[in-house]
Chain A
Amino acid sequence: MPFISNTPAQREQMLAEIGLSMDELFDDIPSQLKTEAFDLPRGLSEQETQGRLMELAQKNATHLTCFLGGGFYDHFIPAAVDAIVSRSEFYTAYTPYQPELSQGVLQAIYEYQSMICRLTEMEVANASLYDGGTALYEAMMMALRITGRNKVIVDDSVNPIYRVMIQSYTQNLKIELDQTHCQDGLTNRNQILQMIDDKTAAVIVQNPNFFGCIDEFSDIADAAHDKGSLLIVSSYPVSLGILKTPAAMGADIVTGEGQSLGIPMSFGGPYLGFMASAKQYVRKMPGRIAGETLDASGRKAYVLTLQAREQHIRRDKATSNICSNEALCALTALVYLSLLGKEGLKETAQLCADKANYAYRRLTAIPGVEPHFRGKWFFNEFVLDLPCEAADVIAKLIEKRFAAGFPLGRYYEGMENSILICVTEKRTKQEIGMLAEALESVL
């Protein structure tokens, strides 16, 4: 049998030694609850399995030149990332409950937390959450715990997938979720400033927002703090190579999707939710946290800390039900950031902005293609209005081997002709030119 080490003879010997038959080992399951009739296929050899899965993999379209973003990005991943995270001492380990055998993972988590703090300029970070969406929901719950309030304001320029996730999670809880409507590509500060009151736990915004526009939230942070509310910013970590940090804008809690930091797109996961906050809120944070300490003989050591917040200790009073973190994905992000380093991340972010701006100019030169938001700064995504339905145009461009962008009509009423286009550092001038030609030809 695959992956089972005992030989039939060993099994017989072991059964004889404990004085039971194989059937007797399952005597505690009442016979009417046992089943024989599992309708499952026979097991496949490794060769058959690889063959079948390769066939399935080839039915997926990875031949398209990717201008599709929407919070999930096709960035370049250096080969050393995979070489390091494929070391099985990391990936076949479990949660570092025994620090003596887990200093590798624990120190890596500590370094990852430090890396997230340096990237966001926040004071503390946790060991990671499932993804950017659940991280944002957890940040909202954290704000409710900190403030003891139950009203949350979220602008609709926050990733619509995250907003619907938050709606799902809050339907059984007594939380008032108010939505403001983005104004000309930026967070609707007027509406937010009017709505914040002394019941508001938090204001949730995103930078760059879902449309790719770069915003500055200092005014919203001030207004929120005036009323004792918190500012939660969902951010795109690669953009922090050049963009103003959430901390510099006055954010209290920062979350984001870490997929862009060296993690493959893998059809939606596994990804990496990161979370950072001001130090004063660390005891209200969800999820695992690694900390530095000393061992019995005074050596520096790392452990999981502040565990009294967590479900295995506090059960129904825990700060969250989360148990896992995305340890291997956090390690991936740490390795990626280490390889790029200070200059590399800055250059990558700058390249994204340069190429997106070039694409914007190239594409808006096409007759009938207009910018949706004029005169707005954007990072590596932007919105264009087409003379016809964007979904149709995108479908035609797929035939020309482009994943040209995302049709915004899917989530925003009245934006049926609008397309969200993303350009990462991977795209070349030539590819952008080819997209422009293809787009012009299908309009």
Chain B
Amino acid sequence: MKLIFEKSAAGRRGVRTAPTDVPRISIRTDLLRQEPANLPELSELDVVRHFTELSRRNFGVDNNFYPLGSCTMKYNPKVAEHIASYPGFADLHPLLPQLRMGGMLTQGALRVLHEIDLLLREITGMARFTTQPLAGAHGELTGMMIMAAYHREQGNKKTTVLIPDSAHGTNPASAAIAGYRVVSIPSNENGVMDIETIKQHLNDEVAGLMLTCPNTLGLFNPHVKDICDLIHSVDGLAYYDGANLNAIVGKARPGDFGFDILHLNLHKTFATPHGGGGPGAGPVGVKKKLVPFLPVSVVTKRDDGTYALQYDRPKSIGYIAPFYGNFGVVLKAYVYILMLGKEGLRRVAENAVLNANYVKEKLKGHYRPAFDRLCKHECVFTISQRMAQNGIRAVDIAKALIDKGFHPPTVYFPTIIAEAMMIEPTETESKETLDSFIDAMIEIAEQAENEPEKLKAAPTTAVVCRPNETAAAKNLNIACS
């Protein structure tokens, strides 16, 4: 398909600007660009057709089942999109509250921020949230900065953060960028971190621990509270990566496990759309003793029932985002929580876990489960011995699924499982959808064992087939000038 630049025709115009009603100004020539920016010249129809065609070359949750493990590709309710486009939200200038009495101009928006804070406190068992972090990884960095601020105030000289080897790559990267040295903790034969291993790595240098629970293998660590206690015994802080909260929402609260800081991925648990890779939102919640370190500003409710922003926070880590976070995303998550309510949220975890275990049980005779035991919201498989002997890899299974009309699961993650295939059905999918996916996976398994060469050519129905990634990095072409 042609690039948009290749469709340009000199002199063609899309949107017309309004006629000017003021005199033209001539800015000093040496401050101006010599040539206009080389943007394409297209009609509105050209642009609409181009992007409609691009959209047809893309696959979203609305197209079909998208069991991309670790990403929680659940249905994104349309009503949330609709509400986020209300002019009272979409057209609101973020600097208004900084004007004198300006907070009164944004009471509706401030109330949303205050109420989602209260709702998330109740859901997680934390004392207070900031909605500022702009994505999950940004939440992790914010959390690590809070950890550092806490130790600085305590006068602690702490240098390391413990992170299990099954963690998302963002965990070690966030800890490193906050100035910590990362100590990677191996998972045990049950796929989780064990108490004895942690004890071996525990010393006064340990600033804290980052833990995803259930972890990226979909496994809940039953010793999670003891692990938090151990970290606390050296005045460390326990950080909960909320990427997988979907598995336990409405059932258990990370705050009750002993975690001191956590982030939530609103685009996962709370159904805001993933947007082709963003925007996300990663609110951070903390226990009471860490509240003073939360970023500037925080929303408060005054005695008279109005809402205000508090900027005077001497112990705060400061500004980590320009304003109040990805408000448009936070708003959609707020809508989702309001609509689900207490009962609905419990059903999220129940159906997510039921769907994952159903898929695991149905597929375990055809693929090798990484751990054949109760899983939470996702299950990890690897290829059978026979498939391996046939030269089949996880990527071949993934590509074959495309020909069956499904988005593949996450492959090659977590990295501690060879040829990993990580399936996360989410709660919004029906048994009928799961059954058709299971049937497709079984057919592919049979092919992988009996006609492996067919899978190597997959996908045959997509617009492209296995683009050469090595060549892309070697002959770098990342912009067309």
Contacts and interface: CB of A to CB of B under 8 A. Distances in A.
A41 B337 CA distance: 9
Contacts of A55: 108
A84 B276 contact: no
Nearest to A163: B319
B326 A270 contact: yes
A127 to B, nearest CB: 7
Contacts of B106: 60-61, 267
A1 B37 contact: no
A56 B20 contact: no
A176 interface: no
Query: For chain A, which range describes its interface: under 10, 10 to 19, 20 to 34, or 35 or more residues?
Result: 35 or more
Interface string B77-97: 101011111111111111110
Interface in A223-259: 240-245, 248
Contacts of B462: 100-101
B365 interface: no
B351 A11 contact: yes
B397 interface: no
Interface in B4-40: 4-5, 8, 12-18, 20-25, 27-28, 30-34, 36-40
B194 interface: no
Contacts of A164: 318-319
A383 interface: no
B321 interface: yes
A398 to B, nearest CB: 7
Nearest to A397: B99
A131 B322 contact: yes
Contact of A268 (B140, B178, B252, B327): B327
A119 B35 CA distance: 11
Interface in A310-325: 310-318, 320-325
B393 interface: no
Chain B, interface size category, equals 35 or more
B461 to A, nearest CB: 9
A253 to B, nearest CB: 15
B111 A56 contact: yes
Contacts of B220: 28-29
A61 B96 contact: yes
A136 B220 CA distance: 39
Interface stretch (B46-54, B230-238, B447-455): B46-54
A323 B174 CA distance: 10
Contacts of B327: 266-269
A415 interface: no
A308 B79 CA distance: 39
Nearest to A426: B18
A134 interface: yes
A49 B86 CA distance: 13
A365 B56 CA distance: 56
Interface string B363-400: 00000000001101000000000000000000000110
A427 to B, nearest CB: 10
B188 interface: no
A95 B480 contact: no
Quick one: which of B51, B79, B101, B477 has the most chain A CB within 10 A?
B51
A121 B1 CA distance: 25
A339 B7 CA distance: 13
Nearest to A111: B4
A331 B279 CA distance: 11
B312 interface: no
A185 interface: no
B276 A331 contact: yes
A321 B479 CA distance: 24
B176 A3 contact: no
B137 A316 contact: no
Contacts of A299: 463-465
Interface in B246-262: 248, 250-253, 256-257
Q: Which of B1, B44, B135, B479 has the most CB of A within 10 A?
A: B479
A18 to B, nearest CB: 4
A377 B178 CA distance: 40
| Residue with the highest number of chain B CB atoms closer than 10 Å, among A266, A313, A322, A331 | A266
B346 to A, nearest CB: 8
Contact of B137 (A321, A346, A347): A321
Contacts of A311: 137, 168-170, 172-173
B211 to A, nearest CB: 14
Interface string B177-198: 1110010000000000000000
- Most A CB within 10 A of own CB, among B40, B107, B335: B40
A418 interface: no
A224 to B, nearest CB: 20
B249 to A, nearest CB: 9
Interface stretch (A150-158, A189-197, A285-293, A434-442): A285-293
Contact of A90 (B15, B58, B222, B429): B58
B222 A29 contact: yes
A294 B323 contact: no
Given A10-B430, A130-B134, A303-B469, A3 B276 contact: no
B94 A342 contact: no
Contacts of A49: 79, 83, 335, 338-339
A345 B17 CA distance: 9
B467 A295 contact: yes
B112 interface: yes
B127 interface: no
Contact of A35 (B138, B141, B251, B471): B251
Given A27-B374, A345-B37, A161 B123 contact: no
A131 B339 CA distance: 30
A407 B63 CA distance: 49
B357 interface: yes
Contacts of A131: 134, 321-322
**Residue among B30, B75, B105, B337 with the highest chain A CB neighbour number at 10 A:** B105
- Of listed B170, B174, B278, B428, residue having the most chain A CB within 10 A: B278
A317 B176 CA distance: 8
Contact of A43 (B277, B339, B398): B339
Contacts of B252: 26, 29, 33-35
A407 B314 CA distance: 23
B354 interface: yes
A165 B281 CA distance: 18
A93 B274 contact: yes
Given A96-B276, A297-B465, A329-B278, A340 B58 contact: no
B92 A265 contact: yes
Nearest to A167: B318
B473 A327 contact: no
Given A89-B55, A269-B279, A403-B99, A282 B478 contact: yes
A22 B100 contact: no
A100 B318 contact: no
Interface in B331-359: 335, 337-351, 353-355, 357-358
B23 A358 contact: yes
Nearest to A87: B55
**Interface centre among A57, A312, A425, by most B CB within 10 Å?**
A57
B257 to A, nearest CB: 6
Given A95-B276, A269-B328, 18 more contacts: A3-B427, A14-B355, A28-B376, A78-B15, A95-B274, A97-B410, A101-B59, A119-B37, A165-B322, A169-B145, A171-B318, A214-B27, A244-B31, A268-B324, A268-B327, A338-B4, A338-B14, A398-B101
22 contacts: A1-B343, A4-B344, A4-B428, A6-B351, A28-B376, A59-B107, A59-B108, A60-B109, A80-B44, A91-B274, A91-B275, A100-B459, A104-B57, A114-B480, A165-B319, A303-B469, A311-B137, A322-B137, A326-B278, A339-B14, A355-B22, A403-B99
CB-CB nearest 5 A-B residue pairs: A57-B88, A268-B323, A43-B341, A104-B58, A168-B318
